[in-house]
């Protein structure tokens, strides 16, 4: 772990993401000795709250997830936390935050690395990026503190990055004016969760000591299936889910990342830049073909879920075929299939071979020493390791595919299926 002093600023620190995920992940890292020794957290949100109240809020969130948490360890942990009330769209509040950070660094006598976490709806990204820049928060060291060679600022951004291709490009242009690509960490928490499971399985299988890369092509592989099946309904996520749909929620990011992992060329010993470029190239080569139908459906009763609009056509199921436009993969369908309210839950990548007429299954493994995805998100970001994060090139390529998919199924009838259906019965 990088032991350099670090200040973590969480925008939206009173929201559900912080309460349900981030607070516990940070405590687990702290308990495991995986945070810098000089570490502090600054919560930033509109809700009126003082430092003590924010610490109590964090304590309750941790105990809600871990009833057996050590009270004494939590007591020490919470001393690292402070709170700044502010509006996410108000520049003056960001300037006040900057003054507070500078004052605290001044008391320490040295500047700390700065990590900004946007635990907010994507609609607020543009305002926050603009205010971060205007308030001078992209500069890690305040004028009154000793400059420290190598001090950095980084930004963690939750998915989805943009709502479509145009929005993703607009946000990227704005971010590019504030940070360089090495400072931007776009989170795909599902990829983080899989990082020590299915991701490593595939990389080791393809490029490990007994690599099978010579047979990893259209001469030997019949098809590749990327399957995300869920028994769950949309539940309390009705309003959010209805605004994005299944494909934007998991297809455009998680499933396309899995496709890229299977299809990419050898990423030059798995260096971060190599992995990003290899995944991006695979995504840029992937696309629909007119002769292969798209299926998109909605489970019976979806329209009665809380937050769902009357007459909504939002999909809870989809199946589509993507093909890569290169000699290695020509003619091999990559079948992406996702559904809610199905008869079983499973996440698996299935690679089916021609001659031996068998399929290799890469099921999700949760044997991750950092079991919670957000622990790995924080840990890798602090280290500066971008492997599990997505580059802007990958994001743009994903949105290009998504735009084509969404446009195509506007002319395809929405299939209504019964809860508990088998995926293969939905046509």
Contact in structure between 11 and 17 (CB atoms under 8 Å): no
Q: Do domains 6-158 and 189-373+385-425 have the same CATH topology?
A: no
Q: DSSP code of 237?
A: G
Q: What residues does each domain of the chain span?
A: 6-158, 189-373+385-425
Whole-angstrom distance, CA of residue 22 vs CA of residue 58: 10
pLDDT value, residue 369: 44
Q: Which residues are catalytic?
A: 254
Whole-angstrom distance, CA of residue 92 vs CA of residue 131: 9
- SS3 of residue 2 by DSSP: coil
Task: Spell out the per-residue pLDDT of the chain, length 427, in tens.
Answer: 557 899 999 999 999 889 988 999 999 999 999 999 889 999 999 999 999 999 999 999 999 988 888 999 999 999 999 999 999 999 999 999 999 998 888 888 788 899 999 998 877 888 998 899 889 888 877 655 666 667 888 999 877 677 778 888 888 888 878 888 888 888 876 666 665 566 667 777 777 766 677 889 999 999 999 999 999 999 888 888 998 899 988 899 889 998 998 999 888 654 556 888 899 999 999 999 989 999 999 999 999 999 999 999 999 999 999 999 999 999 999 999 999 999 999 888 899 998 776 777 776 544 474 457 788 889 889 988 887 788 888 989 999 999 999 999 889 999 999 999 999 999 9
pLDDT value, residue 226: 94
* Fold classified for 6-158: Rossmann fold (3.40.50)
Whole-angstrom distance, CA of residue 45 vs CA of residue 120: 10
Q: Place domain 189-373+385-425 in its CATH homologous superfamily.
A: Dihydrodipicolinate Reductase; domain 2 (3.30.360.10)
Whole-angstrom distance, CA of residue 423 vs CA of residue 204: 30
pLDDT value, residue 370: 45
């Amino acid at each position: 772990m990088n032991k350099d002093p670090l200040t973590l600023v969480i925008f939206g620190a009173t929201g559900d993401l912080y309460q349900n995920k981030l607070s516990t992940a940070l405590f687990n890292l702290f308990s495991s000795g995986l945070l810098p020794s000089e570490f502090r957290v600054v919560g930033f949100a509109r809700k009126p709250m003082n430092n003590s109240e924010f610490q109590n809020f964090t304590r309750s969130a941790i105990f809600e997830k871990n009833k057996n948490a050590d009270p004494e360890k939590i007591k020490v942990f919470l001393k690292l936390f402070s709170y700044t009330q502010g509006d996410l769209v108000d520049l003056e509040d960001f300037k006040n935050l900057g003054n507070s950070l500078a004052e605290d660094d001044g008391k320490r006598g040295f500047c700390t690395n700065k990590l900004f976490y946007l635990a907010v709806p994507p609609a607020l990204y543009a305002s926050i990026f603009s205010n971060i820049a205007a308030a001078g928060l992209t500069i890690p060291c305040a004028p009154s503190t000793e400059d420290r060679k190598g001090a950095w600022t980084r930004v963690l951004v939750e998915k989805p990055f943009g709502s479509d291709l145009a929005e993703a490009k607009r946000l990227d242009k704005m971010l590019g004016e504030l940070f360089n690509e090495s400072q931007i960490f776009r989170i795909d928490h599902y990829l983080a969760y899989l990082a020590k499971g299915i991701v490593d399985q595939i990389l080791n299988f393809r490029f490990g000591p007994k690599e099978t890369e010579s047979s990893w092509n259209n001469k030997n592989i019949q098809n590749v299936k990327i399957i995300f099946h869920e028994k769950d309904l949309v539940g309390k996520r009705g309003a959010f889910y209805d605004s994005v749909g299944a494909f934007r929620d998991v297809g455009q990011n998680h499933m396309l990342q899995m496709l890229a992992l299977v299809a990419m060329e050898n990423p030059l010993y798995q260096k971060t830049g190599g992995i990003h470029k290899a995944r991006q190239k695979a995504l840029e080569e992937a696309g629909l073909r007119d002769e292969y139908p798209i299926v998109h459906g909605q489970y019976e009763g979806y329209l009665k879920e809380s937050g769902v609009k009357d007459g909504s056509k939002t999909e809870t199921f989809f199946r589509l075929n993507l093909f890569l436009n290169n000699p290695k993969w020509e003619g091999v369908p990559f079948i992406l299939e996702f559904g809610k309210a199905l008869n079983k839950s499973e996440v698996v990548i299935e690679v089916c071979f021609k001659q031996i007429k068998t399929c290799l299954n890469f099921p999700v493994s949760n044997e991750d020493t950092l079991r919670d995805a957000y622990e790995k998100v924080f840990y890798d970001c602090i280290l500066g390791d971008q492997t599990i994060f997505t580059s802007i090139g990958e994001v743009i390529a994903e949105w290009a595919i998504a735009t084509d998919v969404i446009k195509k199924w506007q002319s395809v009838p929405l299939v209504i299926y019964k809860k508990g259906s088998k995926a293969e019965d939905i046509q």
